[in-house]
């Protein structure tokens, strides 16, 4: 696996694919610079060696060239975070881009315009990838969030750098952290899978059953499993067509000696609202007209015991509707249990949009071993898939 350490960047132009797909407010100001901060160590390392950096990224899902999706909006924030004046060129191909790249001096950073202004980016067009490749000497992929896409700048471009391509520090750390969970020798290994649908996590569950000792299932997924086993779930969310599958997963886990833990009680509400009337009920006896929206106190006690005894922990998906304050307690408690286990020496990896949002919202980010930057990419790795962006560097 080639990383930055394998190259000398002095007087070289590094073409770095980053994920600067950051949220902007109505005035086009960056509201969360986490992704820019995450790329800083890679950019710093190249500049420190006397190289220059050409940054490539996408922003949003533009239909052609749309001003609101211009990366020009993030230049000020990127300059502030990186501590260097980021130059900007309003294109990613053609003479303007070629000249801006050619004029770049050691220690300087240039940001190309949104790659998705061209349909060729998402189409994985070879000619476009070749044009991008001509701008730099060494290709560095540091965009885990897009590593599962075979786009021109994340995958196709690598073929034009047969000997001069590397993983950035962020992408290398992502791979290393996931490997730590999936190939961990520090047992017991516990995976916590939450969220609303079994269907979105089926392949993850099937792939990780060989790697974990405990699997805690929470969130809306719970009720498909409970109903499949004959429990009454009231008006709780349920994928009726996945009940058979839920039973198969339980049987497979038993066969592999993996202990599956479902909530035993839930906070039920009489409607889907923060102001709803609530009661704590047995997860198998939810009354009609009521729905489970968070894990109950007995469930949390059981989960706490398992997590504090774990040496490796993967957390993907919340235990309840944490966006509503009255149904966030289970997710917050789980985060605190994982933080406590981490403090005692366990390795904890948090990934997937909702879990990441939760740890940030509740101030737990610094208490986890690693918080992944890629939702879809991480899920695909957990499913056992080889991501095209990663394969292209290893090739």
On whether 17 is known to bind a ligand per the annotation, the reply is: no
Please list the residues that pair with 87 across neighbouring strands. Answer: 110
Angle between helices 169-182 and 375-382 (to 10 degrees): 40
On whether 112 is known to bind a ligand per the annotation, the reply is: no
Kindly report the number of other CB atoms within 10 A of residue 344's CB atom. 10
Distance CA 165, CA 330 (A): 44
On whether 241 is known to bind a ligand per the annotation, the reply is: no
Angle value at C-alpha 48, between 47 and 51, nearest 5 degrees:
40
On whether 94 is known to bind a ligand per the annotation, the reply is: no
Kindly report the number of other CB atoms within 10 A of residue 33's CB atom. 17
Distance CA 303, CA 225 (A): 17
Name the catalytic one among 360, 376, 384, 385. Answer: 376
On whether 347 is known to bind a ligand per the annotation, the reply is: no
On whether 93 is known to bind a ligand per the annotation, the reply is: no
On whether 164 is known to bind a ligand per the annotation, the reply is: no
On whether 179 is known to bind a ligand per the annotation, the reply is: no
Distance CA 193, CA 303 (A): 12
How many CA atoms lie less than 13 Å away from 172 in the CB half-sphere? 15
Name the catalytic one among 2, 197, 298, 385. Answer: 197
On whether 61 is known to bind a ligand per the annotation, the reply is: yes
User: Catalytic residue at 353?
Assistant: yes
On whether 55 is known to bind a ligand per the annotation, the reply is: no
Question: Which position has the token pair 């006896």?
Answer: 285
On whether 201 is known to bind a ligand per the annotation, the reply is: yes
Cα radius of gyration rounded to whole Å, the chain: 23
User: Catalytic residue at 376?
Assistant: yes
Name the catalytic one among 12, 13, 17, 35. Answer: 35
User: Catalytic residue at 65?
Assistant: no
Distance CA 271, CA 385 (A): 39
On whether 353 is known to bind a ligand per the annotation, the reply is: yes
Name the catalytic one among 2, 232, 298, 353. Answer: 353
Going by the annotation, the residues of the binding site for (2R)-3-phosphoglycerate are 35, 116, 149
Going by the annotation, the residues of the binding site for ATP are 201, 292, 323, 352-355
Going by the annotation, the residues of the binding site are 19-21, 35, 58-61, 116, 149, 201, 292, 323, 352-355
Going by the annotation, the residues of the binding site for substrate are 19-21, 35, 58-61, 116, 149
Catalytic center residues:
35, 197, 353, 376
């Amino acid at each position: 696996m080639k990383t930055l350490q394998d190259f000398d960047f002095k007087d070289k132009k590094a073409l770095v694919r980053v994920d600067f797909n950051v949220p902007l407010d109505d005035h086009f100001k960056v509201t969360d610079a986490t992704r820019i901060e995450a790329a800083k160590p890679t950019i710093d390392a190249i500049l420190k060696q006397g190289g220059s950096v050409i940054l490539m990224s996408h922003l949003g899902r533009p239909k052609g060239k749309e001003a609101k999706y211009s990366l020009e909006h993030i230049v000020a924030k990127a300059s502030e975070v990186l501590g260097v004046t980021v130059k900007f060129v309003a294109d990613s191909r053609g003479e303007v881009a070629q000249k801006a790249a050619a004029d770049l001096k050691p220690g300087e950073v240039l940001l190309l315009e949104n790659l998705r202004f061209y349909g060729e980016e998402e189409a994985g067009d070879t000619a476009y990838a070749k044009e991008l490749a001509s701008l730099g000497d060494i290709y560095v992929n540091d965009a885990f969030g897009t590593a599962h896409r075979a786009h021109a700048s994340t995958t196709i471009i690598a073929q034009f750098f047969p000997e001069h391509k590397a993983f950035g520090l962020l992408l290398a750390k992502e791979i290393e952290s996931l490997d730590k969970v999936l190939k961990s020798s520090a047992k017991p290994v516990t995976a916590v899978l939450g969220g609303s649908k079994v269907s979105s996590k089926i392949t993850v569950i099937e792939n990780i059953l060989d790697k974990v000792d405990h699997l805690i299932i929470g969130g809306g997924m719970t009720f498909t499993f409970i109903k499949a086993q004959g429990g009454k779930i009231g008006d709780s969310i349920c994928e009726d067509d996945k009940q058979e599958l839920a039973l198969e997963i339980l049987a497979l886990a038993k066969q592999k000696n993996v202990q599956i833990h479902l909530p035993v009680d839930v906070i039920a509400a009489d409607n889907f609202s923060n102001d709803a009337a609530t009661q704590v009920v047995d997860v198998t006896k939810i009354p009609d007209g009521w729905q489970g929206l968070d894990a109950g106190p007995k469930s949390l006690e059981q989960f706490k015991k398992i997590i504090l005894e774990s040496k490796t922990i993967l957390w993907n998906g919340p235990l309840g509707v944490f966006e509503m304050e009255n149904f966030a307690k289970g997710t917050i408690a789980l985060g605190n249990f994982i933080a406590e286990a981490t403090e005692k020496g366990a390795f904890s990896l948090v990934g997937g949009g909702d879990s990441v949002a939760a740890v940030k919202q509740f101030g737990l980010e610094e208490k986890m071993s690693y918080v992944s930057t890629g939702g879809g990419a991480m899920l695909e790795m957990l499913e056992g898939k080889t991501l095209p962006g990663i394969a292209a560097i290893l090739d």
